[in-house]
Amino acid sequence: MKYDVIIVGAGPSGIFTALELIKKRGIRVLLLEKGRDLKERLELFKNYASSHQPQFMKSGDAGLNELSPTLSGWGGAGAFSDGKLTLSSEVGGFLHRYLDEGDLTGLIGYVDRCYVQHGAPEQTYGSNIAEIERLKEKAARDNLKLIPSKIRHLGTDRCPDVLQNFKKTLEGKIEIKFNRGVETILQNGSKVRGIVTDNGEEFLSDFVVLSPGRGGAGWLDKEYRRIGLTTLINPVDIGVRIELPASVLNFVTDIMYEPKLIFYSRQFDDQVRTFCVNPYGEVIQEVSEGMVTVNGHSYTEKKSDNTNFALLVSTTFTKPFTEPISYGKYIARLANLLSDGIIVQRLGDLLKGRRSTPDRIKRGIVTPTLQTATPGDLSFVLPYRFLVNILEMLESLDKFAPGIYTEHTLLYGIEVKFYSLQLKLTKSLETEISNLFAVGDGAGVSRGLIQASVSGVVAAREILKRLN
């Protein structure tokens, strides 16, 4: 069971590692993915999205981790749902720590062309410089920083075609095994020598690339600590998903598609940011490790009357606390405890200190796209500091886009983004263990599809040099 290279995880970083490696003929590559193949994943997602049965939704269901198709499987999370390609070196990750600006920009263009060759649309948003400068000035007057970025949007309905095309390119050139979670990283002194799966299979290789995505961040943390690698604590992003009439934000989403806005709260000076804006989209829920969290996506053809986006508060903890992922899970599970899943609340009810009820939600002008969310009170879940930060940003956003800070705006909770501990890495993303590379969101290297994809290319090119 010996291979030249083993890749752990079939999200964008793992896929692009493989795409780069197959440029060299004759090497044996094994790609392990704990989730399902694309066809099974799509079928499960179809049932998942259309089901309103409680057993599909409640966090206490023993089989729910296996049922949720949105986080694991071929394509990972972001490339399977919505699929935004942010074509900027300023957002979407931390690769500027390892690559020169010119090299990073060049690699972003390289992987973007690869997406287009595999079916991504030619159209991009955010190219009208004059309009964007006007929006930047308007945002600055309202105490917001707007980060310009060109966006290529796949759409949830188009993502499967692109992912299937990637798989066709790789078929017959590498070996892919699904339903294979990795349990242990094997070492031979200071060098990597392979992995052991969660069902006890042992696969050996002189090169291992770790690319498990955000869903594998917790596992990576445990392995990093066990091996004794030098780490930095990554922030954990905790917040809510906002849903409101699409007309409130279409003056900016029609130009940029996804406006990336940053705010620093007055009371705590914490960073709050918009994330994953979905014009005319839908709010969805994700299930992982026994907890339910909220997310959003949008289609290219099917459109709702609403736009949704996340407001996330970034918190970096200091010693002695070193468990940001555990903290985020605690907040998410508290929301699940009170609602058997996702809580939804009108902003007006939150400001009046009362819970939302089905009748109050029904009287609002915003119809929830996530029908299974439980009307409730997010003030029982979110710590005071997070709640204040989010409300302050909503007030500033209302100046930028009047209509956001109204009683009818819906807040869903909890949304949490987990990132693994940042490791001490070389410029080629190699860890302190020789020939062990860490790439993608789960490894704390990226926060979006494009930089995740780039990180896979960086690791693969270094491996090819050594194999040569």
Report the interhelical angle of 449-467 vs 101-117 (nearest 10°). 100
HSE (CB half, 13 Å, CA atoms) of 9? 33
3-state secondary structure of 6: strand
Domain assignment present for residue 397? The answer is yes
Q: Is the pTM of this model over 0.95?
A: no
| Phi, psi dihedral angles at 188 (to 5 degrees) | -125, 90
Give pLDDT, residue 396: 98
Radius of gyration of the chain (CA): 21
Give pLDDT, residue 189: 92
Domain assignment present for residue 55? The answer is no
* Residues 250 and 108 occupy one common structural domain: no
Q: Taken in order 423, 294, 403, 150, is the CA torsion positive or negative?
A: positive
* Residues 322 and 276 occupy one common structural domain: yes
Q: How many domains does the chain have?
A: 2
Domain assignment present for residue 49? The answer is no
Q: Where are the alpha helices (DSSP H) in 142-203?
A: 159-170
Q: In the 3-class helix/strand/coil scheme, how is 114-126 assigned residue by residue?
A: HHHHCCCCCCCEC
Give pLDDT, residue 332: 94
Give pLDDT, residue 260: 94
* Residues 107 and 208 occupy one common structural domain: yes
With a cut of 70, list the residues of the chain below it in pLDDT: 48-70, 233-234, 419-421
Domain hosting 140: range is: 130-149+235-417
Strand 145-147, strand 175-177: pairing: unpaired
Give pLDDT, residue 51: 52
Nearest to 75 by CA among 115, 107, 106, 47: 115
Domain assignment present for residue 41? The answer is no
3-state secondary structure of 244: strand
Q: Give the contacts of 399 (CB within 8 A, at least 6 positions apart).
A: 141, 142, 143
Nearest to 11 by CA among 199, 173, 201, 217: 217
Distance CA 342, CA 280 (A): 21
* Residues 141 and 175 occupy one common structural domain: no
Give pLDDT, residue 26: 92
Q: How far is CA 155 from the centre of its chain?
A: 15
